[in-house]
Structure 1
């Protein structure tokens, strides 16, 4: 089973950044170069941070939706990950199959979450990472468990 950390370890940042730009550039509230710098620093930290145990066997699920003519979401069981008309939902499910928003989890936890096999089979590692990183940074770029691993002062800035 692959964890998010496994994907971070083998996927170059520039490929992940390309997918972030593809899917989220229209949602960025700050200058792209500033956001890119924040993501570069974060991605480097993710390579070295201490993991927290995944005691509940949390899996990351990413599903795609497209809006219909009434602007209602329609689940897309198969899709082209580069389709800019899609939007993606990142959520978690534990060993009791309960669904969760993962946005409140710290990055040390995220890294040790498993990636659902359907998610792994439906998109590239860089797309999975782009969607996870976007979700992870909803409240900032410094949500680590260990204070000594983080010296980033933009912990209150959002995308």
Structure 2
């Protein structure tokens, strides 16, 4: 199932409510988040298979060398995965059209409400801002900085 398909199973207001429960600091930008959800909803459905969106629970306590009270607690991870390149990557700089149409794969034993998952994805999608051109520019600057070193 894709983000676009999941959004059709709920309402934009329900996703926004979940977003503000999970990320209360987002209240000032609620209208921006609503615009992104409307963008996803209106984005044409395309067959997109460049990457998948992988949703999983990362539990540092399962790693060797874990130290209680020092290492992090378990957390949810949303990452891209390219099967073709066998590569996991951060999705923050991905185009929203890609987010909308990428297949979402949820870890088998993970139980999330649709609105909760959509809110998490929305937060990740907009981590670098609410304007895709500015986000692309930020990525370009980042890549230039990496090349200079």
Runs of 4 or more, structure 1, over 4 Å off, are 65-68
Q: Deviations over 1:100-143 (max 9, x none)?
A: 11111110111111110427952111111011000000111232
Segments of 5+ residues of structure 2 without an aligned counterpart are: 61-67, 136-149
Aligned residues: 127
Larger fraction in helix: 2
- Distance, in Å, in 2 between the alignment partners of 1:47 and 1:124 is 19
Q: Deviations over 1:45-78 (max 9, x none)?
A: 211123565232x2212234578521x2243xxx
For 1:38-77, what aligned pairs fall within 5 Å after superposition? 38-51=32-45, 53-56=47-50, 58-64=51-57, 69-70=69-70, 72-75=71-74
Whether the 8 Å contact between 2:56 and 2:106 is mirrored in structure 1 is no
* Map of 1:103 onto structure 2: 92
Distance 1:129 1:22, change over 3 A: same
State the 1:38 CA deviation. 1.0
Q: What is the TM-score with the length of structure 2 in the denominator?
A: 0.71
- Distance, in Å, in 2 between the alignment partners of 1:121 and 1:74 is 16
Whether the 8 Å contact between 1:93 and 1:99 is mirrored in structure 2 is yes
* Map of 2:8 onto structure 1: 9
Distance 1:90 1:119, change over 3 A: farther
Q: What is the TM-score with the length of structure 1 in the denominator?
A: 0.67
Segments of 5+ residues of structure 1 without an aligned counterpart are: 76-86, 145-154
Bigger Rg, which one: 2
User: In the alignment, which of 113, 117, 135 is matched to residue 102 of structure 2?
Assistant: 113
* Map of 1:35 onto structure 2: 29
Across the aligned residues of Structure 1 and Structure 2, the Cα RMSD in angstroms comes to: 2.7
